[in-house]
Structure 1
């Protein structure tokens, strides 16, 4: 693949990635900071004249990626997790390594040879939900880089950050934090965190510390030195949105609220909500799931039962189709069956006309043995859908990172209690501030809160 072809791929793929991940984060100062850091790294690469472009994506997913043509992305979720500037430099340096070693271009070429239209994402760490990119116009090809590719990207990233004056040990600490984040995510979802290494990036790569230490040894041939820049990064992320952006709606424990569209609904206890680009998902450890999405209402007057059976699901074998009313809104429901990776499921679909322009839809998936037990709770979820009042719209605000200085008498428990999260407060506080279970916190230290 020629350099011109790589540049063309990047130009075509860039807007699709930005759109999929919620757009570019609307903070010019933070965008300029990350771009400046990236350009500083780019100047010490083997191709200092190359044209690199850096974008902070408006997504709370913790990830970073790169595509041919010099496009590098980090999410604000990753920025929130980073403890210092050197860790962020390590992530960006790693992605530059994938680009300059032409790993992304090689993957694209192999994908095209296999007749797979490709969007290449060089992920620092795998994440649930990225497979949805397969629905993008350019498609997706997201298989992990090989061990050799990752080692080379690590080695190059360490080289670039060291040449730029950052402490290369930050590559080790960042990868360790990414693994800790994955383990906490698994616990939140009711999964065994010990399974992360089997289903996550660790399963196909050397152990994190060994892998990066080897890269440091290969790149530097000496113990690393340089700055960390903790205060620099903390100054930049102070005030940054944490979690969902207002334009995407908010997850608040078991409630999903969308102030822009003016609605809310609540899922039963035990379900964990994830806000996606095309749908809101809620999953239960027993295998049950809820999908919620929206559709444009057909023009003119129409019947919701007809919409469900003829417009939304014309090919499905529906049973028990009937009209319903949900808080004064016309709706329809029916049942069918389906199959997921976990096996057969019972399916109930519900469509509700929210206003003249919008229809909202629930799809409830339950393992057959759970359908009866969950029936009433899922029915309550349907009838929890309602419009927001003007006051409710005004009161719903995004969470943000707030950087504070620890005072005498503060503790992990007292600071965690100030977190806006409904659950997992202390665990999230420790993750964001790199505190192990036995670590105490000293007065004068600056820490991140979610408020």
Structure 2
């Protein structure tokens, strides 16, 4: 068996140095797929899932590796992202779906990810498949404390992150060719890059207004200029434009119909944030985070962090089959580590237990019993700062955990996308008035409708609104 050496790339025809055979690539994809599905819950709308699978298969049939069995999955996450695993497992987050405006744009995203598979980009960059994340060093929080020890695992891998500009450009060019061959307008690839570039500009503008550090580029955040002015992007898309027959499909209305009712931002299944408070209806709990803190909501953990990401508190749901008391469960989880400053908690009818694990990287830990399970909190400060600098904040989060009131169940319902037809003289500003969208509602609605930064709709246009 050939384990390493030169192999002809099926998409480009070039020789690439690779470390695995195609069978090993397929096995790797299957293995990673199991992990990804645990960390990225499937969105529970089978009609939408079937639609995305149908569009993806149509594009994949026109690809260089059309013999693979491609699987397309919509992930229940507000993140603006899509990614591919080796062997044809492709994921698109519903957060990205919300900002697309046609079936051709959906096909462009899927075509781009298909191209990563056909060009074997993940195989070429296998060495980059290490854990990553904006909160990557949060693993230090949970060392030796049960499931929280693996808190970085919820943040994904290099497959989710991207491949560098050359490979991303190659995927754009190949994906646009697959679009044209499958009957979609290859110009949709430019439209998608424009949508993503506008997201990047918006994020940086908002960060500057808040006086925060400039965020790193998100999905496909690789272009210094807008796509119409990017010479290399225009060059790689040239061959696809030549394949267009003039009968290429866009299918805007059909696509928008499939988005009707799509949760925007958080979903009820994963929990909803309202200001600094978090609500989870099916698990019947709420808790609050200090003003200015960020929140990362993943299936395995809920992670709150200071704006500078120097302090974290991670919460995980633990099984308690032995029905241990909070103190017993916490001691079981920390093993041989010493506990200091122990305190029993009583809050809103719930029992809990909290303590400090002393040492150079001291941690605040707690367990609160609720229902059949128990919630484990692990908090720490990075660097040389003392735990005491944030311990009051950590305790405030732990002590805010309680069951929801009946009135709060409405707060736990997500915002949803709906379609409206623009009337004569109607402006985005008018639609933004009274909007429940958090933050800059006007800019968000423009982003959703590809009208950023200052576009206005034409009468009769279908628009996405959030309510």
Q: Normalization by structure 1: what TM-score?
A: 0.81
Q: Distance in 2 between matches of 1:35 and 1:306?
A: 47
Aligned to 1:413: 429
Q: Distance in 1 between matches of 2:339 and 2:200?
A: 39
Aligned to 2:278: 256
Q: Distance in 1 between matches of 2:48 and 2:276?
A: 31
Q: Distance in 2 between matches of 1:320 and 1:127?
A: 32
**Residue 246 (structure 1) aligned with residue 268 (structure 2):** yes
Residues 207, 213 of structure 2: 8 Å contact kept: no
Residues 346, 366 of structure 1: 8 Å contact kept: no
Write the deviation string for residues 349-408 of structure 1: whole angstroms up to 9, x where unpaired. 332222453234252648887977866555443332111245644773222211112234
The Cα of 1:80 is off from its aligned counterpart by 0.8
Q: Distance in 1 between matches of 2:125 and 2:346?
A: 51
Aligned to 1:83: 101
The Cα of 1:257 is off from its aligned counterpart by 0.8
Q: Distance in 1 between matches of 2:336 and 2:101?
A: 51
Q: Give SS of 1:264's match.
A: strand
Aligned to 1:103: 121
**1:416–1:128 distance in 2 versus 1, CA, 3 Å:** farther
The Cα of 1:45 is off from its aligned counterpart by 2.2
Aligned to 1:398: 414
Q: Distance in 2 between matches of 1:127 and 1:92?
A: 23
Q: Distance in 2 between matches of 1:85 and 1:200?
A: 19
Aligned to 1:321: 342
Moved more, 49-58 or 252-261: 49-58
Aligned to 1:52: 70
Residues 305, 322 of structure 1: 8 Å contact kept: no
Q: Distance in 2 between matches of 1:146 and 1:224?
A: 32
RMSD: 3.6
Q: Give SS of 2:116's match.
A: helix
The Cα of 1:141 is off from its aligned counterpart by 6.0
Aligned to 2:235: 214
**Residue 299 (structure 1) aligned with residue 322 (structure 2):** yes
Q: Distance in 2 between matches of 1:193 and 1:368?
A: 21
1:334 to 355, 359, 366: 355
Aligned to 2:259: 237
1:11 to 6, 9, 30: 30
**Residue 447 (structure 1) aligned with residue 463 (structure 2):** yes
Q: Give SS of 1:407's match.
A: coil
**1:30–1:305 distance in 2 versus 1, CA, 3 Å:** closer
Q: Give SS of 1:285's match.
A: coil
> Would you say how many aligned residue pairs link Structure 1 and Structure 2?
428
Moved more, 72-81 or 226-235: 226-235
Note the residue ranges of structure 1 that are not aligned, 5 or more in a row: 120-125, 340-344
Q: Give SS of 2:110's match.
A: helix
Moved more, 223-232 or 438-447: 223-232
Q: Distance in 2 between matches of 1:3 and 1:60?
A: 33
Residues 35, 54 of structure 1: 8 Å contact kept: yes
Note the residue ranges of structure 2 that are not aligned, 5 or more in a row: 1-19, 138-149
Aligned to 2:16: none
Aligned pairs for 1:376-387 (under 5 A) are 378-387=394-403
The Cα of 1:218 is off from its aligned counterpart by 4.2
Residues 39, 300 of structure 2: 8 Å contact kept: no
Residues 207, 214 of structure 2: 8 Å contact kept: no
Aligned to 2:163: 145
Aligned pairs for 1:332-371 (under 5 A) are 332-336=353-357, 347-361=363-377, 363=379, 365=381
Q: Normalization by structure 2: what TM-score?
A: 0.78
Q: Distance in 2 between matches of 1:3 and 1:221?
A: 31
Residues 84, 233 of structure 1: 8 Å contact kept: yes
**1:274–1:346 distance in 2 versus 1, CA, 3 Å:** same
**Residue 312 (structure 1) aligned with residue 330 (structure 2):** no
Aligned to 1:122: none
